Amino acid sequence: MSNSNNRPESAVDRAVRHHSEAVREERTQLANDERIAQGLTPKHCGVEASTNRWGDWECVKCGADF
């Protein structure tokens, strides 16, 4: 992936980006666990998810299963 200056992404930039993504995913999972415990539907991409035919949660916006 390149940054806005069209330079290759450095190892440090890549590590920071991966860490940020992991933290965001962990926070989302914790928030969704709390929502499920309250009987609410989990969220992904800022919208409520639905279940697919296999019973997995699926984002109605991007289609990701989680």
Does the pLDDT value for residue 3 go beyond 60? no
**Poorest-confidence range of 3-7, 8-12, 61-65?**
3-7
Tens of pLDDT, residues 10-62: 999 999 999 999 998 899 899 999 999 999 999 988 889 999 889 898 988 88
Query: Does residue 35 come out as left (phi exceeding 0), alpha (psi in the -120 to 50 range) or beta?
Result: alpha
- Number of Cβ atoms within 10 Å of the Cβ of 44: 19
**Residues 40, 32 contacting (CB under 8 angstroms):** no
Q: Rounded to whole angstroms, how far apart are CA atoms 27 and 61? A: 19
With residues binned 3-state (H G I as helix, E B as strand, rest as coil), the percentages for the chain, rounded to 5, are 40, 15, 40
